[in-house]
Amino acid sequence: MAALPSAYDVALAAERRAAARLLLAHPLVTSNGPHADAFPLIRRHADWLAQRFQQVLGYRLLVEASYARLFKAGLGAAAGHRLVRSTGTPFTPRTYAYLALALSVLVTAPEQLLLSQLVADLRAAAVDAGLELADTGRQVEKRTMAAALRQLVEWGVLSETEGSIGAVADDSAAEALLTVDRDIARVVVAGPLAASRDGADLVLRAADPGFGGPRTYVRRRLVETPVVHLDDLTAAEREWLRTRQRREAQAFSELLGLEAEIRAEGVAMVDPDDELSDLHFPGTGTVAQAALLLVDRPVRQLRPEDAGHPAVGGRLTIGVPIPPGLVDEILHDLIEAYGRRSNWQRGYLDDRAALSSDVLELLTRMRLVAPAGPLRADGQGVPPEYGTDAADGRSVTDVAAARGHAGGHGLVLLAAAARYATTVSLPARKPDQPPPDRADRPSADHADHAARPLPDARADQPSADDARQEEPSP
């Protein structure tokens, strides 16, 4: 019988897990930033953390006296974590352009400089890069530039010694004295810039797992995305996952405190403490409430009849096409039934197209809905010379038709959406009592989140790796 871990071992594991979780959620931690209290913990376990991140995820960890930087890798197109302003508005391409220009200037800037000088240097850098900037005197342009500079303040690249970055947006004549941390500025960018021809090539190269191959890519997908469906992976990656997913679940539990939900359609790593995700769903606000309520009807209406694991004679169903017009129809009904009585934002009530767009964007980022089209299983977004076939011609689960036949257009409802089907609490009604009219229906605040199993993942069905015995790790 194995000996029970000592109190010291338990405390040591908890410290390392806390440090690893912090770095995974916040890849840049500084000694005087918002997570300064945990920075000594990272330094204390720096060697162990560096070894584990490199071994498990292929991420490089750099720990210096004043900061720790975990250099993550990309996952391909449409799989990134976007930056947002303080208002929650996503960065636009123009905001990212200002951010990149500012970093190019600050890596060689003096220790202190005036805000006006930084703005002038930004304009000069844009000219050198062949970029055409709009008139920086325009209010919208000044706000865009200010958003990029505020992000650098948040990262610790810039410090507001006197005055504020907001001066660039509030008054073109206002001034501020800024202190620059060139060391942090140099480690912000993690992608292979020098080897990339353009933006698309950079995204492709950043997603290349290198020598780690399928093992590293799958592990990254598991910890960086809400759910990994089988057709999000190549045949080689699916083969690796199905033979090792139970073991990987145990490893991620020990390293990061994550719990694996393994289904026939794929795997999701769940954080019981809800700290590691930049997306919170279900959530508050008009878009989050509408998205949660929207999911219910398609899940019930489009649920396939013969879904199941192929090992027991079922048909693997990862997604089903959403009929054209169904989303708009459901949103119309939700606005009439809930929106007008639940203080949904008036702008969304008046502009239903905007509501539909933002709701679908949230569901897409949560991997509950996806646009129809080529997938990684079809070779989409796979780096050049990356092996996609299973080793030694081994057979893997066929995912060719697992999302139905959407014809390359429209939207697909993914299996993970079934976890978020909602139930609405209604008061008991006597048999002779008429149903409540529309005005008496419950508000969206009474929509309960019911964690339901995925459509074809009943407890009596084998998971993807139960269909084949696990093999030992190399």
Q: What is the pLDDT of residue 1?
A: 55
Residue 345, number of CB atoms within 10 A of its CB: 14
Residue reference for tokens 């290349």: 208
In this predicted structure, the answer to whether residue 211 has a pLDDT above a threshold of 70 is yes
In this predicted structure, the answer to whether residue 181 has a pLDDT above a threshold of 60 is yes
Comparing 11-25, 119-133, 385-399, the range with the smallest average pLDDT is: 385-399
Q: What is the pLDDT of residue 134?
A: 67
- CA 382 from chain centre, in angstroms, equals 19
Over residues 371-386, mean pLDDT: 83
% of the chain residues with pLDDT over 70: 85
- Residue 209's nearest CA partner among 199, 200, 218, 201 is 218
Comparing 15-19, 96-100, 414-418, 425-429, the range with the smallest average pLDDT is: 425-429
In this predicted structure, the answer to whether residue 31 has a pLDDT above a threshold of 60 is yes
Comparing 92-106, 261-275, 460-474, the range with the smallest average pLDDT is: 460-474
Euclidean distance between CA atoms 376 and 4, whole angstroms: 43
In this predicted structure, the answer to whether residue 425 has a pLDDT above a threshold of 60 is no
Q: What is the pLDDT of residue 466?
A: 39
What residues contact residue 56 under an 8 Å CB cut-off, 6+ apart?
Answer: 219, 251, 255
Over residues 57-62, mean pLDDT: 95
Q: What is the pLDDT of residue 408?
A: 61
In this predicted structure, the answer to whether residue 33 has a pLDDT above a threshold of 70 is yes
In this predicted structure, the answer to whether residue 247 has a pLDDT above a threshold of 80 is yes
In this predicted structure, the answer to whether residue 309 has a pLDDT above a threshold of 80 is no
Q: For residue 16, report the phi and psi dihedrals to the nearest 5 degrees.
A: -65, -40
Q: What is the pLDDT of residue 389?
A: 76
CA dihedral for 359, 363, 364, 370, sign (positive or negative):
negative
Q: Which of 75-84, 264-273, 336-345 has the highest mean pLDDT?
A: 264-273
Q: pLDDT band at residue 228, thresholds of 50, 70 and 90?
A: very high
Euclidean distance between CA atoms 403 and 102, whole angstroms: 43
Q: pLDDT band at residue 171, thresholds of 50, 70 and 90?
A: low
Euclidean distance between CA atoms 451 and 419, whole angstroms: 5
Residues forming a β-bridge with 267: 228, 262
Q: pLDDT band at residue 333, thresholds of 50, 70 and 90?
A: very high
In this predicted structure, the answer to whether residue 142 has a pLDDT above a threshold of 70 is yes
In this predicted structure, the answer to whether residue 43 has a pLDDT above a threshold of 80 is yes
Cis amide leading into 453 (omega within 30): no
In this predicted structure, the answer to whether residue 165 has a pLDDT above a threshold of 70 is yes
In this predicted structure, the answer to whether residue 4 has a pLDDT above a threshold of 80 is no
Cα 366 to Cα 226, 303, 419, 454, 460: the distances in Å are: 6, 19, 12, 15, 27
Over residues 90-115, mean pLDDT: 93
Stronger pLDDT, 146 or 341, i.e. the higher one = 146
Euclidean distance between CA atoms 278 and 276, whole angstroms: 7
Residue reference for tokens 């352009």: 97
Q: Are 28 and 67 in contact (CB under 8 A)?
A: yes
Quick one: tokens of 185? 């500025």
Residues forming a β-bridge with 84: 90
CA dihedral for 137, 141, 143, 144, sign (positive or negative):
negative
Euclidean distance between CA atoms 150 and 282, whole angstroms: 29
Q: What is the pLDDT of residue 426?
A: 39
Q: What is the pLDDT of residue 463?
A: 41
Quick one: tokens of 186? 């140099």
Task: Bin 297: left if φ > 0, else alpha if -120 < ψ < 50, else beta.
Answer: alpha
Q: What letter represents residue 459's amino acid?
A: A
Over residues 409-427, mean pLDDT: 76
In this predicted structure, the answer to whether residue 147 has a pLDDT above a threshold of 50 is yes
In this predicted structure, the answer to whether residue 267 has a pLDDT above a threshold of 80 is yes
Euclidean distance between CA atoms 426 and 442, whole angstroms: 7
14-70-206 Cα angle (round to 5): 135
Q: pLDDT band at residue 281, thresholds of 50, 70 and 90?
A: confident
In this predicted structure, the answer to whether residue 238 has a pLDDT above a threshold of 70 is yes
Euclidean distance between CA atoms 324 and 90, whole angstroms: 27
Q: pLDDT band at residue 277, thresholds of 50, 70 and 90?
A: confident
- Average per-residue pLDDT for the chain: 83
Residue reference for tokens 């410090």: 159
Over residues 216-221, mean pLDDT: 94
Q: What is the pLDDT of residue 339?
A: 83
Q: What is the pLDDT of residue 169?
A: 77
Residues forming a β-bridge with 413: 320, 369
Q: What is the pLDDT of residue 132?
A: 80
What residues contact residue 224 under an 8 Å CB cut-off, 6+ apart?
Answer: 72, 75, 79, 81
